[in-house]
Amino acid sequence: MNGTYSEIQNAPSSDYYELSYAQKWIWLSDRLSPEKPKRNISFSLHFKGRLDIEALEKAVEALVIRHEILRTTFAVENGTLRQRICPPASFNIKVNHIDVSKYERMEELSNEIIQEEQAFPFDVQADQLLRVTLIRLLEPKYILVFSMHTIISDDHSMVIIANELLTLYKGYREQGRNILPPLSIQYKDFVAWQNAQPQHNLFSEQESYWMDHFSGRPAPTAFPADFPGNNRVFSNADYVTFQLDKSLTAALTKIAERNNASLLVVLVAIINVLLNRYTREKDIIIGASIASRPHPEVEGQVGPYNSIFPVRTLLDTCKDCFSDVLETIRDVLVAAYERNRYPYELLMEKLGLMDNLSGCLLINVLVHPQQAPLLPEVPELTIERYALEGCANRADLTFRFEQVDNTVKARIEYNGGLFKRNTINQFVENLVNISRLLATEDELFIDNVKLLQIASIS
């Protein structure tokens, strides 16, 4: 293996396997916060054209055979949760067919079905953790919905699944066979590799960096809530959407280029400034969720790999201008990326935060960049839309950004137990306003950045 990465070996065959740090965190959080909605993630593919149902069902079956994690179940063995991989012959995955073509409210009904699939209450210890539903509208339109628990998947995995599903469909449609080569390793092999990392010097070095970075056990940055104390209640999880137009996106992109940074870094810096203006806190901590994998061999693998980088920024609002904040965040993110082998969940454990989930650990605000997938073309079918859905609620506020047609489409998922919708709408107004201000005055001191008056916001 090149560089400092040791090769991932196949784990010895067993009836049960250990969990990854991410899976342990998800399991613990679910147990200690049973009132929260289930941690589901889903995507939908909107088809138009001639769909071969038999080829689609064969593609789904081949996908589940290909990725062991999709047919993984969980059980407690000797007091410890373990994962168990079901043999393909005993894992009966079926596509649920729902026909709404005869109803006047087709679109409305299909949206309701998608929402129901997204909210399906998986039981980690009792259920298959994957559901596939095909909704038939008036021909030639269909919607395919994949929904699963986040203990077996993440956002980037959904893109992999969508791509491989269409590739498999094309193979069965045109050649009558699975055209994808088998995988050499699986998620359980990565887990065995990850759990062995604390024995290596490089892992210790990365741990030292993170412990130094968060010395003093700083408090998580919390956006002022309408209902303080309800931070573990997500019964009304919701989201709002907005957009940064082409001119603003172009201006922010130029700032990124001038500072040798990405547009994501600029957006994270803006959110830092915005949080400081709302809270007056100078020690700001947010999380950046990156689709990178902690090992090159698992780039094309499905599983809960999502890396969360805690970004801590110490602001001197009298002396720091926006370009200073941007430079600091750029350097912190580069350093974090170079140390992405160290799991965020293990950092929480080392900081003594895993035993008490009465709060949101170290991160209350999460930034999640998204990228529209490049899906393969399929004869006689047009993929009208790929939609990733599901509020997993790893934080009180989650910002999702996607660059589309020279604009930034954004979505804020929020904890309805803490915030009124109007509060989030006001927050969006201030975010857009500050973005416009800093796009033209990136040397402006942070203390001179002002929030809009609440009364002036419609």
pLDDT in tens, 410-424: 999 898 888 999 999
Neighbours of 327 (CB within 10 A): 17
Q: Is 386 a domain residue? A: no
Residues 407 and 258 in one domain: yes
Q: Is 15 a domain residue? A: no
The DSSP string of 69-124 is GGGEEEEEETTEEEEEEPPGGG----EEEEE-TTSTTHHHHHHHHHHHHHT----T
- What is the residue range of 236's domain? 201-377+391-456
Residue 394 confidence (pLDDT):
64
Q: Is 196 a domain residue? A: no
Q: Is 13 a domain residue? A: no
CATH number at residue 155: 3.30.559.10
- Where helices occur in 197-262 by DSSP H, the ranges are 201-213, 246-258
**Which residues contact residue 146 at a Cβ distance below 8 angstroms, ignoring those fewer than 6 apart?**
42, 43, 44, 130, 131, 132, 158, 161, 162
Residue 295 confidence (pLDDT):
83
Count of structural domains, the chain: 2
CATH number at residue 226: 3.30.559.30
Predicted confidence pLDDT, tens digits, the chain (458 residues):
334 678 899 999 999 999 998 898 888 877 766 555 567 888 899 999 999 999 999 999 999 999 999 999 999 888 889 999 999 988 889 999 999 999 989 989 998 999 888 888 888 887 799 999 999 998 889 999 999 999 999 888 998 999 999 999 999 999 999 999 999 999 999 999 988 887 777 788 888 999 998 888 788 888 888 887 655 545 567 889 999 999 999 999 999 999 999 999 999 999 999 999 999 999 999 988 876 677 888 888 999 987 788 889 999 988 999 999 999 999 999 888 888 788 888 888 888 776 555 444 678 899 988 877 788 889 899 987 777 665 555 688 999 998 888 999 999 989 888 899 999 999 999 999 999 999 999 899 999 999 986 533 33
Residues 368 and 399 in one domain: yes
Residue 2 confidence (pLDDT):
39
Q: Are 39 and 392 in contact, with CB atoms under 8 Å apart?
A: yes
SS3 of 403, please? strand
Residues 176 and 270 in one domain: no
SS3 of 7, please? coil
Q: Are 339 and 208 in contact, with CB atoms under 8 Å apart?
A: no
Q: Is 265 a domain residue? A: yes
Residues 166 and 313 in one domain: no
Question: How far is Cα 64 from Cα 165, in angstroms, rounded to an integer?
Answer: 10
Residues 421 and 326 in one domain: yes
Q: What angle do CA 410, 347, 196 make, to 5 degrees?
A: 115
Q: Which of 156, 188, 220 is at the close of a domain?
A: 188
Neighbours of 231 (CB within 10 A): 18
Q: Which of 188, 217, 240 is at the close of a domain?
A: 188
Neighbours of 37 (CB within 10 A): 17
pLDDT in tens, 162-220: 999 999 999 999 999 999 999 999 999 999 998 888 777 778 888 899 999 888 878 88
Q: Is 250 a domain residue? A: yes
The helix or strand, by DSSP H or E, that contains position 168, with its residue range, turns out to be helix 155-174
Q: Is 385 a domain residue? A: no
pLDDT in tens, 84-129: 999 998 888 999 999 999 998 998 999 899 988 888 888 888 779 9
Q: Which of 123, 158, 188 is at the close of a domain?
A: 188
Is pTM beyond 0.85 here? yes
